[in-house]
Structures are given as structure tokens and as C-alpha cells.
Structure 1
Amino acid sequence: MENSQLVAIISRLDAMMKAAGDEVQSRRFEKDGQERGFVTYDPASGTFELEELASHQKFEFDNIDLTAMEIYDLLDY
């Protein structure tokens, strides 16, 4: 059975939320060596921002599950 990509994405987002301090955390998400998205987490506001690198569109989420599903869709494309 293949490992869940969604679990791996949520783990990375959760680590961003649990990082010590109040600095903005960021992570890059890629598939096959190609960067697809850039995510930041602002602990002051409790929000994630996802930038789709191909289109430079930005989306803001206040829910880890919605953020993870959007990243999953971006990587599955």
C-alpha cells in the first residue's frame, strides 16, 4: 500500500504551526523536482497563504485541512 500524500502534507503544515516563536514559517511543495507551490504560515493571524507558482495566484486559508487539500490538488495536477 502506498503512503498517503495527504498525511505527509498535513504533517508539514502541522510542523509549521507548532514551530517555536512567532516568526512566519514557509515551505515549498514540489513534484518530480518541479516547485508547484509556496506556503507561508503566520502564527499571529493563524492563517496559511498558498501561492501557486505557475500562475502566481495566492489563496489564504484559516483551516489546515482546506490548505492540505488545495496543496494535494496542486501536486496531483
Structure 2
Amino acid sequence: MKPSQLIPIIRRLDAMREDQTDEVQVRRFEKDGKEMCVVRYDSQSKMFELDDRTTNQTYEFDNIDYVAVEVLELVQPATSTEE
């Protein structure tokens, strides 16, 4: 069984929420060296904003799980095989 790809994504997103500064936290997620999305977290509004680089659209989320799933869909390999 392959390890979950969601766990590292959630850890990175959670680190954004735990940051104590008032600055908007930013994380970039890549696939094969190509930036797929940028996630921002605003601690004032407690909202995540995801910029999808493949469609040039922006989405807002108030739930870390939903953001993580969107990031996973963008960065996971197009064809995955179970072992």
C-alpha cells in the first residue's frame, strides 16, 4: 500500500494556519517542476485562497480538507496505479 499523498499537503496547509504572524501565508505546489497552484491563508478571515495555475481561476475555502483535496487533484500523477 502506498502512503497517503494527502498527509504532506495537509501538514503544509496546517503550518500556514499555525503561523503566529499577521502576514498572509503563501505556499506553492508543483508537479514535475511546474507550478500547479498557489495557496494563500489569511489568518484574519481564516480563509484559504487557491489560485489554480492550470485554469487561471481562484477559489476560496474555509475548510482545510477541501483545499487539500483540490491541491492533491492538481499535483498527483495523471495515471496512478495501485500496488
Note the residue ranges of structure 2 that are not aligned, 5 or more in a row: 79-83
Partner of 2:10: 10
Q: Compute the TM-score of the two structures, normalised by the length of structure 1.
A: 0.93
Which 5+ residue runs of structure 1 have no aligned equivalent?
Answer: none
The two structures, once aligned, show a CA RMSD in angstroms of: 1.1
Aligned length: 77
Write the mapping of 1:12-31 to structure 2, written as runs, cut at 5 A. 12-31=12-31
Aligned-pair identity in percent equals: 52
TM-score for the superposition, normalised by structure 2: 0.86
For 1:48, the aligned partner's letter is F
Equivalence for 1:41: 41
Deviations 1:3-26 (A, max 9, x none): 321000000000000012111000
Structure (1/2) with the larger helix percentage:
1
Q: What code does the residue aligned with 2:59 have?
A: F
